[in-house]
Amino acid sequence: MELQIPNPLLDVTMLNPGDLLELTGKIYVGRDAVLPKIVELSRGNGLEQMKIDLQGSVIFHSAVSVAGIGPTTSNKVEIEESIVPLSKAGVKIHLGKGEIMPETIKRLKGENAIFAVIPPVTALIKSKVIKVKMVAFPELGMEAFHEITVQKLPCMVAAVNGVSIYKER
């Protein structure tokens, strides 16, 4: 479903988990360091002073770097605790990755807002993994060296024959 954003009139009751959205328009980008500050600004007239209009907006849980823009985990305390207050301030769509708490999900409904994962890469990869085996450095936890067995894991060739998809445009 294509959505023009921001969209203050978006009725999220027409959406279902698993729906694919294509967003066109402006998106705010912030993560754990800045979102609590945006919440504070929303409690007064700080957003207006900074010319930030959250009505019908989208916030992508990410940072902007030269390496690109990708989602960060949305259930980090600083991020998840910002979701409901920013929804009250007008945000309609929160983009990120990972699961959020059931209480946050319930409270989003009351604010006519949604949480979406973008891109759904983590969920896609997880759905293609059949087996996970830690093979070295267990003391590193999730950053240990693992072997995974996958089935039909999609990927895109990014560089071949001296040419890259990341060339300057």
Domain boundaries of the chain, sorted by first residue: 2-119, 124-164
Adjacent-strand bridge partners of 2:
22
pTM: 0.76
Given this model, what pLDDT does residue 168 score? 57
User: Cβ-count burial of 82 within 10 angstroms (0-12 exposed, 13-18 middle, 19+ buried)?
Assistant: buried
- What distance in Å separates the CA atoms of residue 87 and residue 162, rounded to the nearest whole number? 46
Given this model, what pLDDT does residue 127 score? 84
- Tell me the mean pLDDT per 10 residues along the chain, length 169: 93 88 92 94 93 94 79 91 96 90 93 85 80 88 82 78 70
Q: Is 2-119 CATH 1.10.150.20?
A: no
Q: Are 90 and 114 in contact (CB under 8 A)?
A: no
Q: Which residues contact 110 (CB under 8 A, 6 or more apart)?
A: none
- What distance in Å separates the CA atoms of residue 68 and residue 29, rounded to the nearest whole number? 12
